[in-house]
A and B are shown apart, each in its own frame.
Chain A
Amino acid sequence: MPSENKPAIAQGQKSKPEPAIVVSHVSMLFKRAKDEATSVKELLVRAVRGQNHYEMFKALDDINLTIQKGEVVGIIGTNGSGKSTLLKIISGALIPTRGKVLVDRKSVQLLTLGTGFDPELTGRENVYLNGAIIGYPKSFIDQKYRAIVQFAELEGFMEEKVRNYSSGMVSRLGFAIATIRDTPEILILDEVLSVGDMFFRQKSEARIREMIHGGSTVLMVSHSTSVIQANCSRAVWIEKGRLRADGNPKEVCRAYETLKEM
């Protein structure tokens, strides 16, 4: 076991460029009742009988990761391996049980699809709602509204309720809203690059590349090793909460694929 009180930036000092994200010794424990009481009555009954057994579930186990500015890092791993937990910790939605994350939260943009849309509202209303939620001021949305609609290819649909949109249309709109701002410094993509038809996918990958070119640090999660190999400069493999491999995307993906085949 590595000691807990190592200096936080120890890893970042190896290379010259400034680190954008430093994850040091991060562990995440979830207290999980073996079979959880979901009602007050159950809880009381068990408390009286002393039956509230908890087991600690380690979602992340001592993860160390330093990401330099301008790197494009792909994270792979099977379902439930802790990928999204790590993203949530980096974006600040969760606070880790142990360890530290150094990152400028203001410049982090987490992009997940299909969230934050209200089916009962029109496309236009959703642009404003979603924009407000991810932190755009009203003036900015007013100004960029047309560009968003254009990018999403939804001209003529904006006064319709999102309930009537196809799932591809919804993800296009989500993607357009989230990426309209001038290259956030740190972009976190959660399974984003596999939506829409082939043409939109090309377009969105081009947009992501544009952002990468503009100096964004990108962290993406994907099940598809081909997406990661095509877009990333580095890959990280997380399995059962532990860091299994870190390095060249081709090698990491190959190692991951051999495990899957077993």
Chain B
Amino acid sequence: MIDAQQGKQYAFVIRQLTARELKRKYARSYLGIIWSVLNPLLSMVVLSLIFSQLFRRSIENYPIYYLTGNILWQAFTGATNASMTSLVDNKMLLLKVKFPMELFILTRVYTALINLGYSLIAYVIMLFVFQVSPKWTMLFSPLIILFLFLFSLGISYMLATAYVFFGDVKHLYTVLLTIWMYCSAIFYPVEQLQGIIRVVIWNNPLYTFIHCMRKAVMMGALPERIEWFQMLFWSLGVYAIGSLIFQKNRNRIMQKL
């Protein structure tokens, strides 16, 4: 139903909106977009200083282990946090636009993806610094990022819809994210864990994304069949549910705004 011309116009709108988000984010800083590169680097240095000694025996190349988890985690939280408020933030615009309002959500997630791109520059530099040798399995990392993107988009649809009706979602989600982060094994090794927490982590979609990324980059191993299945299941499933919820509530959202 979307013809080529319309698609082109949507792409133009997304580019313009994304440019705005990026310019806004760094509007009052001197280093601007460089912060997207510096930020993960600095937090990696700090965490490495603190934890390297602690996990020395169990994790090889701890800084990279941490950095891999952290940039994916940051991309996810950046995308979902920003898109949660996207409809409310753009309330005024929504009333005069001629394109579907999910473009605003898509834009915020896309912006996070662009930011992830900058963070990956830092990541690649660090791979050289820590002498991680190039492996052909690294070629699969864009696919993992695509899964993460779809997953984030699905969550974003749900959050953005919920936030229109309840402002509290924002605070609830902050708490949820904290729990979620501790369950994603970003800065600790997962092998030491036993019992219920281990089950939780293994079934945590974000951990699966991070874990597969680590394997591809650090160990040169592809995801196992069950992991492919998990990633497909979570990304497509959450995306489908998210957009379904959004579509169902589209009219109510307009009324509420």
* Chief secondary structure at chain B's binding surface: helix
Residue of A nearest to B25 (CB): A120
Whether A94 sits at the interface, judged by CB under 8 Å, is yes
Closest-CB distance, A162 to chain B (whole angstroms)? 12
B167-A93 in contact (CB<8A): no
* Chief secondary structure at chain A's binding surface: mixed
Give a binary string over B225-257; 1 marks a CB under 8 Å from any A CB, 0 the rest.
000000000000000000000000001001100
Closest-CB distance, B29 to chain A (whole angstroms)? 12
B23-A120 in contact (CB<8A): yes
- With beta carbons under 8 angstroms apart, the residue of B27, B92, B98 that contacts A135 is B98
Residue of B nearest to A114 (CB): B92
A88-B169 in contact given A120-B24, A125-B23, A129-B17 (Cβ < 8 Å): no
A115-B92 in contact given A39-B167, A40-B168 (Cβ < 8 Å): yes
Q: How far is the CA of A195 from the CA of B96 in the complex (A)?
A: 19
> How many residues in A have their beta carbons less than 8 Å from beta carbons of B?
31
CB-CB under 8 A from A105, the residues of chain B are 98
> How many residues in B have their beta carbons less than 8 Å from beta carbons of A?
29
Q: How far is the CA of A105 from the CA of B93 in the complex (A)?
A: 17
- With beta carbons under 8 angstroms apart, the residue of B20, B98, B254 that contacts A125 is B20
A88-B20 in contact (CB<8A): no
CB-CB under 8 A from A92, the residues of chain B are 98
- With beta carbons under 8 angstroms apart, the residue of B15, B20, B94, B96 that contacts A118 is B20
CB-CB under 8 A from A6, the residues of chain B are none
Q: How far is the CA of A111 from the CA of B96 in the complex (A)?
A: 8
Whether A133 sits at the interface, judged by CB under 8 Å, is yes
B97-A129 in contact (CB<8A): no
Whether B13 sits at the interface, judged by CB under 8 Å, is yes
A128-B16 in contact (CB<8A): yes
A137-B8 in contact (CB<8A): yes
Closest-CB distance, A59 to chain B (whole angstroms)? 9
CB-CB under 8 A from A133, the residues of chain B are 13, 16, 93, 96-97, 99
Interface residues of A in 113-172 (CB under 8 A from B): 115-116, 118, 120-121, 125, 128-129, 132-135, 137-138
- With beta carbons under 8 angstroms apart, the residue of B96, B97, B166 that contacts A40 is B166
Closest-CB distance, B22 to chain A (whole angstroms)? 11
CB-CB under 8 A from B5, the residues of chain A are 137
B98-A30 in contact (CB<8A): no
- With beta carbons under 8 angstroms apart, the residue of A31, A43, A93, A132 that contacts B94 is A93
CB-CB under 8 A from A43, the residues of chain B are 166
Closest-CB distance, A156 to chain B (whole angstroms)? 21
CB-CB under 8 A from A115, the residues of chain B are 92-93, 95-96
Q: How far is the CA of A133 from the CA of B20 in the complex (A)?
A: 12
A118-B167 in contact given A133-B97, A134-B98 (Cβ < 8 Å): no
A116-B92 in contact (CB<8A): yes
Whether B179 sits at the interface, judged by CB under 8 Å, is no
Interface residues of B in 1-35 (CB under 8 A from A): 5, 8-9, 12-13, 15-17, 19-20, 23-24, 27
Q: How far is the CA of A105 from the CA of B96 in the complex (A)?
A: 12
Q: How far is the CA of A152 from the CA of B98 in the complex (A)?
A: 24
Q: How far is the CA of A112 from the CA of B91 in the complex (A)?
A: 13
B93-A116 in contact (CB<8A): yes
Whether A38 sits at the interface, judged by CB under 8 Å, is yes
Closest-CB distance, A15 to chain B (whole angstroms)? 29
Whether A183 sits at the interface, judged by CB under 8 Å, is no
Known: A118-B20, A129-B17. 4 other contacts (CB 8 A): A112-B96, A115-B93, A125-B20, A133-B13
Using CB atoms and an 8 Å cutoff, list the residues of chain B in contact with chain A.
5, 8-9, 12-13, 15-17, 19-20, 23-24, 27, 92-99, 166-169, 172, 251, 254-255
Could you show 23 A-B contacts with beta carbons less than 8 Å apart? A38-B166, A38-B167, A41-B168, A91-B96, A93-B94, A93-B96, A94-B254, A95-B251, A95-B254, A105-B98, A116-B93, A116-B96, A120-B24, A120-B27, A121-B20, A129-B16, A132-B16, A132-B17, A133-B13, A133-B96, A134-B96, A137-B8, A138-B12
The 8 A-B residue pairs with the shortest CB-CB distance in the complex, in nearest-first order? A115-B92, A132-B16, A39-B168, A120-B27, A132-B13, A129-B16, A110-B96, A135-B98
